[in-house]
Structure formats: C-alpha cells, structure tokens
Copies of this chain bind each other. A is one copy, B any other.
Amino acid sequence: MESIVEQLSEEESLRLAAGSEVGRIGFTGRYGPIILPVNFRIVDGAVVFRTEADSALVEDLRTGIPDAEYRVAFEVDDIDKAERAGWSVMIQGPAHYLEEAEERAVAEAAGVDPWIGGDKETYISIRPALVTGRRIRRG
C-alpha cells in the first residue's frame, strides 16, 4: 500500500499534542544534542512540564541571563507499528521558567503529573513559536 503524508495545521497539531501526556524535549546540552521524554500538559496554549530544581536538564536550560531563554524543540507522536502509520508534532519555542506567582499558579492548577516521583518543583513552559505536524496513513 502507498503511504500518504499529510501536513497538519498548527491548530490540529496542538489539538493532537494536547491529547498526549508524554513528549520529548530536545535541546543542545553541555555535551551536545539531547532528547529526553517528559510528562507534560498543554496549559493556556503552551507545553508545561516539571522537573527537579537540581537536575541536569534545569542546569542546561538556564542561560544565567535574566529574560534570556534557550530555544528548544518538543516532540509528541502517536505511532501505530502494525499499520505503519501515525502522526508527529514538533513545537519549537523558548524554554521559560515559571517563577512568577501567577503563571506558576495556573500551571499548578492544571495538574501536570510526572510519572516519576521526587521533588519536581521546577515548572518549565515552552510557548510555541513554530508548530509543525504531519500524519502518515496508508492509501
């Protein structure tokens, strides 16, 4: 069977991403490119996830310069191996630490719930600058 590749709109891409709870953050760390799975929610149009304050992830993503933010990629997909089909979405944007009381309260209320325990009290959001998505299906 032929494969059909369809580009998804930004709206459709964000809708699909919002239905998932595991995505993958990609960025350039101290030792080169990194991809790490995280549990996330879409909150007010942005990806939000939690991590530990002293994690390598947090150290890598802190620029040390107020209001300067690293640009990262966030990928979500749903793949059906049997059908050799599925969709994937990539969200690119700056990684922002939720440190102000108001933005923090909104994220906390959304209930971002990591599968792994520990003191994950650092909230990071990725506000989409560019959203792309595609779907592969059998013709």
Q: Which residues of A contact B (CB under 8 A)?
A: 2-3, 5, 21-22, 24, 26-28, 31-37, 71-75, 77, 79, 81, 84-85, 88, 90, 92, 115-117, 130, 136
Closest to A77 in B: B37
Residues of B within 8 A of A32 (CB): 71-73, 92
The answer to whether A73 and B116 have CB atoms under 8 Å apart is no
**Closest residue of chain B to A71, judged by CB?**
B32
Query: How many copies make up the complex?
Result: 2
Residues from chain B with Cβ under 8 Å of A35 in the complex:
24, 26, 35, 73-75, 90
How far is A25 from B66 in the complex, measured between Cα atoms in Å?
Answer: 31
Whether B22 and A79, one on each chain, are in contact in the complex, defined by CB atoms closer than 8 angstroms, is: yes
